[in-house]
DNA sequence: GGAACGATTGAT
DNA sequence: TCAATCGTTCCT
């Protein structure tokens, strides 16, 4: 993985809610290189974020488009609020709400590079292939043991994101798996 | 109350 | 290319 810069120290700074209280596209881009952590009862699982997508207001592809409901309420929560939704009857997907409370925008975490807890991820995913552990939104939630119980909870409780000084080059593409607003360049993938 | 569909994945 | 699988949404 190409890195445009490496950490100058081992400092790990937890992202504050204010990080998410900004332009959603910018947040999606800047989350690349940050480290996602889940402190589970069986151990710490972590990985570096390498793929994200932005979902905006007035965006037909966004779950928030229809306005606040019981399902999507977390998207309208305070910045950094965790939004986990169940999809295709089988998988969970992880998002972080952006902008001030009341604004329905979020960033979908689509892929991470495994760091800590790889054995736990392999166990949960049922494969030993490192490259198949968390390279998709449903896969990473399975690997990280992230489910609906985490929906609509604040950042930095059991699930955290920290900055260790790494920034990643990225490319921009249309979002995956959507039929509405499918042309918008709101997917960001680390090179 | 019923039917269609979805920000996915893995097998065929 | 397609089945798995079920909560949400939308239509009647």
Q: Whose structure tokens read 């409780």?
A: A157
| Cα–Cα distances in angstroms (integers) from residue A107 to residues A86, A117, A134, in the given order | 16, 24, 17
Say whether pLDDT at A7 is over 60: no
Q: Whose structure tokens read 């489910």?
A: A147
Q: Which two tokens stand for residue A190?
A: 């680390």
Span A106-115, average pLDDT: 98
Closest CA to A77 of A57, A92, A58, A98: A98
**A1 or A10, which is more confident?**
A10
Closest CA to A107 of A51, A145, A160, A69: A51
Q: What is the pLDDT of residue A10?
A: 76
Give the nucleotide nearest to A66 (CA→C1'): C9
Residue A90 beta carbon within 7 A of nucleic strand C? yes
Residue A71 beta carbon within 7 A of nucleic strand C? yes
Closest CA to A75 of A89, A93, A90: A93
Residue A41 beta carbon within 7 A of nucleic strand B? no
CA distance A130 to A140: 12
* Residue pLDDT, tens place only, A34-47: 999 999 999 999 99
Q: What is the pLDDT of residue A112?
A: 98
Say whether pLDDT at A184 is over 60: yes
Closest CA to A102 of A139, A75, A136: A75
């Amino acid at each position: 993985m190409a890195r445009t810069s490496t950490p100058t120290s081992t400092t790990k700074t937890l992202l504050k809610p204010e990080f998410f209280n900004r332009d959603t596209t910018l947040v999606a881009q800047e989350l690349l290189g940050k480290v996602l952590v889940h402190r589970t009862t069986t151990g710490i699982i972590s990985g570096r974020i390498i793929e994200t997508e932005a979902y905006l207001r007035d965006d037909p592809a966004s779950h928030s488009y229809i306005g606040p409901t019981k399902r999507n309420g977390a998207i309208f929560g305070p910045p950094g609020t965790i939004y986990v939704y169940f999809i295709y009857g089988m998988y969970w997907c992880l998002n972080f709400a952006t902008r001030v409370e009341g604004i329905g925008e979020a960033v979908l975490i689509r892929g991470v590079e495994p760091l800590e807890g790889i054995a736990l991820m392999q166990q949960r995913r049922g494969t030993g292939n490192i490259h198949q552990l968390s390279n998709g939104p449903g896969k990473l939630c399975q690997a990280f043991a992230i489910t609906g119980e985490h929906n609509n909870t604040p950042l930095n409780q059991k699930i955290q994101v920290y900055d260790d000084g790494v920034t990643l080059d990225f490319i921009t593409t249309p979002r995956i798996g959507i039929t509405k607003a499918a042309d918008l360049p709101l997917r960001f993938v680390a090179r």
